């Protein structure tokens, strides 16, 4: 992989006409290590967030040895990155053949579920393989309430009363039982975790079963930008959020059992930026060579304002307008689909033109993993970059809308 000090340097040297991902392995290691240092338990990286081999390999180098996986594709990717990494199969609804594969081929012994039919599926395979249920840990996933960019409890999680029944049933069969939750991705309030812990405590007390662990899921927020014309969303910094989470864990009496977290976004977001090219400027619209069916769907559905840096093409000798004047451009994606228009504008100098580049920062989470081949577009070019996106400043143009808190 070619290596550059900054994204700007890569853009000017390569003049990429297709989207170019800038991978920052040292940033990834730093963020993974920071999380592991702050969380008072085991860290299981959520592979769905970005399961690229370069990411998994770098995380292993950083000391991550547990991975949250959801499918056979993720089991194989983790095994490829590390022959002895532990995997937690935390998707609550699983294909029977995938459960068998997990237990038989990959030696996975930790799973989650939120329904009795799922217990029946797991038990069928456990009996067929003649395994002792006591060798398997099952986390019952609880429904939670809280504020996050992505609410996940609409789809998964048992209500507290139901969770009590599931815990008791699993215990009676002989499985080791724990509780887990996911407060939603990109949480907006630290209290979301406290509400979930309170609910977990209620279930523990009613169930009267000795729990073997608590998995607090993901949700830890990454740093993004904010729009100058909107009220800034207050995202608690990780140190603050983790301090509060640690206090809440003690307060609710979960500090005496093994804890796990499944962070995704907060670990990998900062590790990638994406250089896109303006294929066409039409008034206040920019048509770029990426979009919601490639790297930008998370920002579209989550209405996330990504930080962006303008990289003007030096080959263009004349420009109209005032480079100091930052204006909002509507951004249209590369495909012919008319919904492929970003939900948030890019704020850039009014001099931006066809042929210029924009480096979009903090794009490592839910970008590469959500790419489709729609319309035949599939960004897959990479370079390595050594300077963190936020450290480069705004050399020729302007960082739009950045509130790079850290």
Ligand X SMILES: Cc1ncc(COP(=O)(O)O)c(C=O)c1O
* Of residues 185 and 273, the one with the C-beta less far from ligand X: 185
* Of residues 25 and 219, the one with the C-beta less far from ligand X: 219
User: Does the active-site annotation cover 336?
Assistant: yes
Interaction of residue 6 with ligand X, rule CB under 6 A: no
Q: Applying CB under 6 A, what is the total number of residues that bind ligand X?
A: 17
Tell me the CA distances in angstroms from 230 to 1, 181, 227, 234, one per residue in order.
39, 31, 5, 12
Binding mask 183-212 for ligand X (x = CB under 6 A): --x---------------------------
Interaction of residue 94 with ligand X, rule CB under 6 A: no
Contacts of 142 (CB under 8 A, 6+ apart): 114, 157, 158, 160, 163, 179, 180, 181, 196, 199, 200, 203
- Beta-strand pair 42-46/66-69: parallel
* Of residues 219 and 388, the one with the C-beta less far from ligand X: 219
Interaction of residue 182 with ligand X, rule CB under 6 A: yes
CB of 248 to ligand X, least distance (A): 18
Interaction of residue 213 with ligand X, rule CB under 6 A: no
Q: Which of residues 301-340 bind ligand X (CB under 6 A)?
A: none
Interaction of residue 19 with ligand X, rule CB under 6 A: no
Q: What is the three-class DSSP state of 349?
A: strand
Binding mask 137-176 for ligand X (x = CB under 6 A): ---------------x------------------------
CB of 272 to ligand X, least distance (A): 14
Task: Determine the distance from the C-alpha atom of residue 105 to the mean position of all C-alpha atoms in its chain, rounded to a whole number.
Answer: 27
* Of residues 194 and 356, the one with the C-beta less far from ligand X: 194
Q: Label residues 56-82 b or e (16+ Cβ within 10 Å = b).
A: bebbbebebebbbbbbeebbebbbebb
Interaction of residue 358 with ligand X, rule CB under 6 A: no
**Is-contact 271 25, C-beta < 8 A?**
yes
Q: What DSSP character marks residue 303?
A: T
Which residue lies nearest ligand X, judged by its C-beta? 218
**Is-contact 261 304, C-beta < 8 A?**
no
DSSP 153-198: TTTS-B-HHHHHHHHHHHHHHT-EEEEEE---EEES-THHHHHHHH
Q: How far apart are CA 35 and CA 40, in angstroms?
A: 10
Interaction of residue 225 with ligand X, rule CB under 6 A: no
* Of residues 49 and 144, the one with the C-beta less far from ligand X: 49
* Of residues 42 and 313, the one with the C-beta less far from ligand X: 42
Q: Which of residues 33-52 bind ligand X (CB under 6 A)?
A: 46, 48-49
Binding ligand X by CB under 6 A: which of 10, 90, 238, 294? Answer: 90
- Greatest alpha-carbon pair distance for the chain in Å reads 76
H or E stretch covering 56: helix 53-62
Instruction: Copy the structure tokens of residue 390.
Output: 């936020």
Question: What does residue 104 show for φ and ψ, rounded to 5 degrees?
Answer: -80, -50
* Of residues 178 and 264, the one with the C-beta less far from ligand X: 264
Interaction of residue 262 with ligand X, rule CB under 6 A: yes
Stretch that binds ligand X, among 96-104, 213-221, 226-234, 278-286 (CB under 6 A): 213-221
Task: Determine the distance from the C-alpha atom of residue 302 to the mean position of all C-alpha atoms in its chain, rounded to a whole number.
Answer: 12
Q: How far apart are CA 375 and CA 299, in angstroms?
A: 20
Binding mask 56-75 for ligand X (x = CB under 6 A): ------------x-------
Binding ligand X by CB under 6 A: which of 7, 41, 51, 218? Answer: 218
Q: Tokens 């490592």 label which residue?
A: 364
Q: Which of residues 364-383 bind ligand X (CB under 6 A)?
A: 365
Footprint on this chain of ligand X (rule: CB under 6 A):
46, 48-49, 68, 90, 152, 182, 185, 217-220, 262-265, 365
Residues taking part in catalysis: 336
């Amino acid at each position: 992989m070619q290596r550059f000090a900054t994204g700007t340097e890569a853009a000017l040297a390569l003049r990429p006409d297709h989207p170019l991902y800038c991978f920052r392995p040292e940033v990834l290691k730093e963020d993974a290590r920071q999380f592991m240092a702050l969380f008072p338990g085991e860290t299981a990286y959520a592979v769905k967030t970005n399961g690229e081999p370069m990411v998994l390999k770098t995380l292993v180098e950083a000391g991550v040895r547990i991975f949250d996986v959801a499918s056979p594709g993720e089991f194989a990717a983790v095994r490829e990155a590390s022959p002895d990494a532990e995997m937690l199969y935390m998707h609550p609804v699983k294909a029977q053949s995938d459960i068998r594969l997990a237990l038989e081929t990959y030696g996975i012994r930790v799973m989650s579920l939120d329904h009795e039919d799922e217990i029946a599926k797991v038990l069928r395979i456990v009996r067929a393989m003649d395994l002792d249920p006591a060798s398997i840990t099952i986390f019952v996933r609880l429904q939670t309430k809280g504020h996050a960019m992505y609410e996940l409890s609409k789809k998964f999680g048992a209500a507290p009363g139901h969770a009590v029944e599931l815990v008791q049933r699993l215990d009676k069969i002989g499985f080791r039982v724990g509780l887990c939750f996911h407060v939603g991705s990109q949480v907006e309030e630290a209290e979301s975790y406290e509400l979930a812990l309170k609910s977990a405590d209620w279930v523990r007390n009613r169930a009267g079963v000795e729990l073997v662990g608590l998995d607090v899921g993901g949700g830890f927020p990454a740093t993004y930008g904010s729009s100058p014309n909107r009220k800034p969303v207050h995202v608690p910094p990780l140190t603050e959020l983790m301090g509060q989470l640690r206090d809440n864990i003690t307060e609710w009496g979960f500090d005496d059992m093994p804890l796990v977290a499944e962070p995704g976004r907060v670990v990998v977001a900062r590790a990638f930026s994406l250089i896109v090219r303006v294929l066409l400027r039409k008034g206040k619209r920019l048509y770029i060579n990426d979009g919601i069916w490639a790297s930008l769907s998370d920002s579209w559905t989550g209405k996330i304002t990504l930080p962006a840096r303008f990289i003007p093409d030096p080959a263009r000798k004349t420009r109209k307008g005032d480079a100091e004047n930052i204006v909002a451009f509507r951004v249209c994606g590369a495909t012919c689909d008319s919904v492929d228009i970003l939900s948030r504008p890019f704020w850039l100098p009014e001099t931006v033109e066809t042929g210029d580049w924009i480096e979009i920062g903090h794009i490592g989470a839910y970008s590469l993993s959500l790419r489709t081949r729609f319309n035949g577009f599939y960004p897959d070019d990479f370079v390595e970059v050594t300077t963190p996106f936020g450290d480069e400043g705004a050399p020729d143009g302007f960082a739009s809308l950045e509130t790079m808190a850290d």
